[in-house]
Structure formats: structure tokens, C-alpha cells
């Protein structure tokens, strides 16, 4: 393994022509003009910036681009890599990138910037597992993560120029987040280098101890491997099978991890001796396996067929461990050349496949990491291939932040109530509202990965049965039911009054004969608070134009075949209906305290201040009303307006809510909005 100073000396000699050479070697016919334009643009805007090494900053994006070129990535990805820090570190906007380099490149640059944003929100490296999952769930284009991995790899290669404390923090982050991400995507070569570089910083003595012992045993291991290679080659020659046989060097961190996990000394790690056999056809892989097992005794339970059943990160190979010469355990991997490319580069290896004939693509039929892979294998257009290369590896989970940066894992479709109960049952039980990304939203709003969620609570708040209709988690549902039951047990039962039937109404109503049959055919609806004198079994609907509620003076309008629509007597819509007076009938509320609720929309205006929305939500909760929907806006001069749809029982209940809201500090006006209420 090269030392870090050697790597740095090598880097200093590279320039844009080095990058272009790699691109032309690995992607013949690629558009290098856009790469040169991106380099010149990045060079111009980073020209006054230096790295800790004292080098021009442009060296960093250039080296990332070279890493991606060696992986045979497309020029769109390479161009985005050259530009990935321009938006975050200079005054250039994403819109400028979009205008100069196109939508695809802008989206990749924006994605890499978002990863930095997610990292900054999280305050604790202890949440590394959830951060990894969040990145995969939030970033939909895999190329974004590949750029970030190349970015992290180059930072690790040049980490010696940073202060020691920063070296340790970045190395721990690389080991906990980015190395496992590379492994998750099947990019074992990048994972191994990141791990070894981080290992060198975090466990300096152990690193050099293992490196020293590997060097001491180098000749012994090479002689042993050469003996194995010679024996296998002779057998494969007889079978007319072409294959390359190499000794596989286990990287230092892998040896260290095995020593720690299995509590073994270096001398006890036998699979430092390992053989990798690479051939052309799948059938030859199995033939070679059979030959190996006739030469040496296989160890039970140490055989894995990842060709028939690939790993989720696309890895395919045959693994077997045998008792080799001198009684030493010998680990052997057998794969095709294409499988080897996938094992080294993971998802990035797909760029190698897009020009292959369809018959060859059959070898990858069982790969599982990408959706609709059969469709991807048929694509010959790079552009079409990229359109399909979208990922959601954790499609059943989302990851959201608390305001303090803690990550909370929830099931997909979870709401603020699920989040509140995931934090603590008391927070859930006293929840009265929520802000998502600093905006007040209904409790039933589904959360998305990356959302910052703040729960508004009140000591007087309590769970509502309506929550059971939209909560996702069984834990939240159980706690809601439990809290409601306890609340009911603690509430004294009301006095039971005798049920005295009311006398039937005798007043008559004039309904046109041609409408009578249609009304009688309408199905009977659930019990309403409205009564039509002398008529029953009639479908009654409340008008959305004026939103009548118990306590309002109302009239009914007979519609053709759709029952009766109820309007307030002051409703402007009635003016155009006056020409059909025969359709207007008397109607009244039977009882204004039945317990039924009705949706109405309020407009609230005021001057914005901290906690204003929280105070409004608390007043609505104390009024025993449920918020259904909120639309909020804040102007440049700090004036704010929001329209809120909530449930009320009657006109007195509505007036009480309006009165309460008007007492909130900075509120200038509250009134009912007489327009159609749309609940989505």
C-alpha cells in the first residue's frame, strides 16, 4: 500500500489533460467538450480558494472526476463532479449551473449539496446507521452517492494536511457512514481504500503492526499462493478452461476487524491466503468449483453460491473454503470477468454493460438492487439508461429530524402523530399541532425523509379518536386508544335523562310534483341535525359556498335528483335562485348540540413573531376543535396570513374560536371565509 505522501506527490502531477485521457480510454467517443467547459468554470470560481495542503482548490474536484473516469462513469457524472462544490462554496447559484450545463447536471450537483445539508443537520456520529439509510432513501439518483463516495475517497487520501482532531472526526465519519455505503452499493474497491485510510488515522499503531506482519510473511504467502496457482492451472488446462488465477490480498482493516470480531491473533487469520479465479463463462465457474473440491477437502457450511442467488448489491461469485496444502485453510472465489467488474465497482459497473449484446446481459437476470433491471439491460442509450437509474433502497422507511438534529426512523406514510409518539408517549398524548420544515401543517400530513419536525404540545392537549384514522404505527395506535380509555374512565358519566319522544311535526311543505318521485328514490342518509317540516327520508347536503352550521338561519333548495341543498339565508348564491321560488323550502336545525361537527374555513391575519403559530394552534385545541388543513404565507414585510379549515359544532362554537384567536398577540383580524372548502 502506498503511503499518503507518495499518493499526494502523484496527485500534484495531474491536470485536465490527465482527466481527458482517462475518459477517452474508458469511454470512447465521450463528449469531452462539456468536461473541459466545466473544468474551466470550476477553475475560475475556485481560483481564490486553497486546500489545507496549500494547493489550488481545483485539484479536489479534478481528482474526484479522475476517480469517476477510472470507474468508466459517463461524462454527465464527471461534469457534475467538477462542479459539485461551486454552488456550496462560491456565489454561483444552481440556476446558473442549470442554464450553462443542463438539467441533469444541475440535479446531480443539487443532490451532492443536499448530502452535505443532511450531514450538517445531524449532530451525532452515533446515528451513522440511520444517516446511511437516510442518504439512500432521500437521494434518488445513484450517481449522486457515487460522486460523494469519490469526494470522500479523495479527502481521505489527503487527510494528513488537516489538524489531528479533524482527521479523527472525518476518518470516523468515513468509517461509519461512507465505507458501509460503498459496500451497500457493491463498490468494494472504494470501500477497502476508505477503510484502510481511516484505519491508518484512527488506529495508527495497529495499522503499522498489521502492515509489518504482512510484509514479513509476504514471501511465505507468495510462495504458498504460487504453488496453489500452479496446481489449479494444470487441472484447468486438462479441462480446456481459460482462467486467470491470482492471490487475493486482504486489506489491512479487514484483517483488523476479523481479529477483533473473532478474538484472534494475526497468526490465526488463515484466509490472508486467498485465491481468486476469473473466467469467461458461468458454466466454467461451476466446473472450476468441482475441480477445486477434488483437489482439496471443502469445509462444511463455508460454501456460498452468490451466482445463483446474488447479494442485494449485485455481487455475484462462488465462495468456498478448503483445507489446502500443509493443512492451512484456503479461501477461494470464482467468478466471470463481468462479475468481477461488478464486485469491484458495484452499481458503477453498469456503465460497462450498456454496450453489451442482449445475449450477454442474460448473465445479470437475477440482480436485485435496481428495479426493472431487465428493462435496464435492454437499453443501449446512455440517456435512457440514466433516466431509469433511480434508487429507493429503503422504500418502506423514512428518516426525519428533530429540531435538535436527532434522526428518527419511521415507517413510510407516518404522520406527525407517529413521530410524536416515537419521541415519547407524553409528547404524543399532549400534541396539539406540528411544524414541518418551519411550516404549520395538519397532524395528518405524511412526512418525507429529510423533514425537520417540531411537535407543539400543551398540558391540556389529549389524543383524539380521529387520530386513529391516519396514524401508521401500531405503537402510536395502541397508546392513543389507551389514553382515550383512561380519559373516559376518569370522566364522570353524565346523568341519564328519560328518552321522551318528540311529537311529529304537522306543518306542510310545498314540493313540486315532478320532484317528489326523485326525492323518494334517494337513499336514506345518516342522521342529520336538519329537519324539513312534514318530510322525511330526504338527502340533505350543506352548501359549500356559504358553509352553514347549526345556529345559522337557513333555507333549503330542491335540486333535480340530488335531494336538498342547505344555504344560509344571507348566502349570495340565493340571489340567482330567487327565480325558482317553488324550489325553496323552509328548513331548520333540530338541535344545535348533537355532537356533529362541520368543516369551516377561517382567515387569520397578523404580524409574524416567534411561536405565533404554536399559540394559535393551542387556542384552537383548547376550543376543542380539530385542524383539518392549513395554508400559511408570510410576506417580506413580516405580515402573515393563513387560511385554516377546522371542525366546529355550531355558530356559538365558531364564535368562541374566533374570539379566542383574536386575543392572541399580534393577530389583527379573524373571519370566516365563505368559499368552497376542499379537503385533500
Q: What is the full DSSP assignment across 226-253?
A: HHHHHHHHHHHHHTT--EEEEEPPPPHH
Say yes or no: 23 and 132 in one domain: yes
Domain boundary among 489, 521, 544: 489
Domain boundary among 181, 202, 223: 202
Say yes or no: 135 and 164 in one domain: yes
- Tens of pLDDT, residues 463-506: 888 898 889 888 888 888 888 888 877 764 454 444 444 433 33
Residues forming a β-bridge with 629:
645
Is 88 annotated as catalytic? Answer: yes
Residue numbers of the domain that contains 617: 598-672
649, part of any domain: yes
Say yes or no: 47 and 136 in one domain: yes
Say yes or no: 610 and 581 in one domain: no
All three cell numbers of 421:
409518539
Judge contact between 288 and 236, C-beta under 8 A: yes
CA–CA dist 87, 94 (Å, integer): 6
pLDDT interval class at 355 (50, 70, 90): very low
Q: Lowest-confidence range among 393-397, 525-529, 653-657?
A: 525-529
Buried b (16+ CB within 10 A) or exposed e, 552-573: bebbbbbeeeebbbbbbeebee
Q: What is the DSSP string of 352-418?
A: HHTTS-HHHHGGGTT--SSTTHHHHHH---HHHHHHH-B--TTTTEEEEE-TTS-EEEEETT-BHHH
Q: What is the CATH number of the domain that holds 269?
A: 3.30.460.10
- Total Cβ atoms within 10 A of residue 271: 17
435, part of any domain: yes
- Tens of pLDDT, residues 73-125: 889 999 999 999 998 888 888 899 999 999 989 989 988 887 776 655 554 54
More confident residue, 168 or 596: 168
Residues forming a β-bridge with 440:
435
Q: What is the CATH number of the domain that holds 135?
A: 1.10.3210.10
pLDDT over 70 (residue 312)? no
498, part of any domain: no
Judge contact between 567 and 672, C-beta under 8 A: no
Say yes or no: 583 and 602 in one domain: no
Nearest in space to 179 (alpha carbons), one of 155, 163, 158? 155
> What does the DSSP 8-state code read for residue 592?
S
Annotated catalytic residue, options 6, 31, 89, 268 = 89
Say yes or no: 427 and 540 in one domain: no
Residues forming a β-bridge with 105:
none
Judge contact between 196 and 253, C-beta under 8 A: yes
Is 89 annotated as catalytic? Answer: yes
- The pLDDT score that the predictor gives to residue 243 is 92
All three cell numbers of 345:
465497482
- Total Cβ atoms within 10 A of residue 438: 10
Average model confidence (pLDDT) for the chain?
Answer: 76
- The pLDDT score that the predictor gives to residue 370 is 35
All three cell numbers of 323:
483445507
Say yes or no: 79 and 178 in one domain: yes
- Tens of pLDDT, residues 231-251: 999 999 888 999 999 886 678
Annotated catalytic residue, options 15, 24, 31, 88 = 88
Domain boundary among 589, 612, 628: 589
CA–CA dist 51, 357 (Å, integer): 45
207, part of any domain: no
More confident residue, 170 or 327: 170
CA–CA dist 556, 554 (Å, integer): 7
Amino acid at each position: 500500500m502506498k503511503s499518503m505522501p507518495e499518493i499526494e506527490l502523484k496527485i500534484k502531477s495531474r491536470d485536465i489533460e490527465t482527466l481527458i485521457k482517462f475518459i477517452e480510454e474508458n469511454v470512447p467517443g465521450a463528449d469531452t467538450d462539456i468536461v473541459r467547459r466545466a473544468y474551466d468554470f470550476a477553475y475560475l470560481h475556485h481560483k481564490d480558494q486553497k486546500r489545507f495542503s496549500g494547493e489550488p482548490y481545483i485539484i479536489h474536484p479534478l481528482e474526484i472526476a479522475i476517480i469517476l473516469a477510472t470507474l468508466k462513469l459517463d461524462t454527465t457524472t464527471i461534469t457534475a463532479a467538477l462542479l459539485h462544490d461551486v454552488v456550496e462554496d462560491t456565489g454561483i447559484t444552481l440556476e446558473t449551473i442549470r442554464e450553462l450545463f443542463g438539467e441533469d447536471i444541475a440535479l446531480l450537483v443539487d443532490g451532492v449539496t443536499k448530502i452535505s445539508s443532511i450531514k450538517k443537520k445531524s449532530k451525532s456520529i452515533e446515528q451513522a446507521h440511520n444517516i446511511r439509510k437516510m442518504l439512500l432513501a432521500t437521494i434518488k439518483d445513484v450517481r449522486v452517492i457515487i460522486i460523494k463516495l469519490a469526494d470522500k475517497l479523495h479527502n481521505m487520501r489527503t487527510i494528513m494536511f488537516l489538524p489531528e482532531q479533524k482527521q479523527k472526526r472525518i476518518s470516523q465519519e468515513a468509517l461509519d457512514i461512507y465505507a458501509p455505503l460503498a459496500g451497500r452499493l457493491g463498490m468494494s474497491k472504494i470501500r477497502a481504500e476508505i477503510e484502510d485510510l481511516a484505519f491508518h488515522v484512527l488506529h495508527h499503531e495497529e495499522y503499522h503492526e498489521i502492515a509489518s506482519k504482512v510484509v514479513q510473511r509476504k514471501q511465505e504467502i507468495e510462495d504458498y499462493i504460487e504453488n496453489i496457482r500452479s496446481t489449479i492451472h494444470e487441472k484447468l488446462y486438462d479441462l480446456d478452461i481459460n482462467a486467470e488465477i491470482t492471490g487475493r490480498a486482504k486489506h489491512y482493516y479487514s484483517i483488523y476487524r476479523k481479529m477483533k470480531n473473532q478474538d484472534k491473533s494475526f497468526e490465526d487469520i488463515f484466509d490472508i491466503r486467498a485465491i481468486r479465479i476469473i473466467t469467461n463463462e458461468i458454466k466454467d465457474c461451476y466446473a472450476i468449483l468441482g475441480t477445486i473440491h477434488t483437489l482439496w477437502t471443502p469445509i462444511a457450511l463455508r460454501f456460498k453460491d452468490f451466482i445463483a442467488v446474488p447479494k442485494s448489491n449485485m455481487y455475484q461469485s462462488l465462495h468456498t473454503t478448503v483445507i489446502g496444502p500443509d493443512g492451512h485453510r484456503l479461501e477461494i472465489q470464482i467468478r466471470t470477468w463481468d462479475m468481477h467488474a461488478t464486485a469491484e465497482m458495484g452499481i458503477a459497473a453498469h456503465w460497462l454493460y450498456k454496450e453489451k449484446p442482449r445475449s450477454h446481459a442474460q448473465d445479470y437476470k437475477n440482480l436485485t438492487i435496481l428495479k426493472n433491471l431487465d428493462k435496464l439491460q435492454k437499453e443501449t442509450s446512455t440517456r435512457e439508461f440514466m433516466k431509469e437509474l433511480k434508487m429507493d433502497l429503503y422504500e418502506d422507511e423514512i428518516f426525519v429530524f428533530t429540531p435538535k438534529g436527532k434522526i428518527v426512523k419511521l415507517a413510510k406514510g407516518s404522520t406527525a402523530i407517529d413521530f410524536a409518539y416515537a419521541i415519547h408517549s407524553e409528547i404524543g398524548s399532549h400534541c396539539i399541532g406540528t411544524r414541518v420544515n418551519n411550516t404549520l401543517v395538519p397532524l395528518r400530513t405524511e412526512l418525507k425523509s429529510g423533514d425537520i419536525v417540531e411537535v407543539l404540545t400543551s398540558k391540556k392537549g389529549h389524543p383524539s379518536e380521529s387520530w386513529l384514522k391516519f396514524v401508521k404505527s401500531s405503537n402510536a395506535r395502541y397508546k392513543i386508544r389507551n389514553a382515550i380509555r383512561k380519559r373516559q374512565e376518569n370522566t364522570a358519566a353524565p346523568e341519564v335523562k328519560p328518552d321522551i319522544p318528540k311529537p311529529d311535526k304537522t306543518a306542510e311543505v310545498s314540493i313540486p310534483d315532478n320532484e317528489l318521485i326523485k326525492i323518494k328514490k334517494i337513499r336514506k342518509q345518516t342522521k342529520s341535525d336538519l329537519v324539513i317540516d312534514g318530510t322525511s327520508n330526504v338527502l340533505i347536503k350543506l352548501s359549500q359556498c356559504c358553509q352553514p352550521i347549526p345556529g345559522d338561519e337557513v333555507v333549503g333548495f330542491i335540486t333535480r335528483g340530488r335531494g336538498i341543498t342547505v344555504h344560509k339565508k344571507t348566502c349570495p348564491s340565493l340571489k340567482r335562485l330567487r327565480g325558482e321560488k317553488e324550489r325553496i323550502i323552509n328548513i331548520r336545525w333540530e338541535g344545535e348540540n348533537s355532537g356533529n361537527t362541520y368543516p369551516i374555513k377561517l382567515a387569520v391575519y397578523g404580524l409574524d413573531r416567534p411561536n405565533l403559530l404554536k399559540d394559535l394552534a393551542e387556542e384552537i385545541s383548547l376550543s376543542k376543535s380539530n385542524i383539518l388543513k392549513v395554508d400559511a404565507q408570510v410576506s417580506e414585510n413580516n405580515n402573515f396570513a393563513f387560511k385554516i379549515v377546522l371542525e366546529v359544532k355550531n355558530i356559538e362554537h365558531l364564535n368562541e374560536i374566533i374570539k379566542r384567536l383574536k386575543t392572541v398577540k399580534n393577530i389583527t383580524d379573524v373571519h370566516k371565509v365563505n368559499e368552497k372548502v376542499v379537503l385533500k
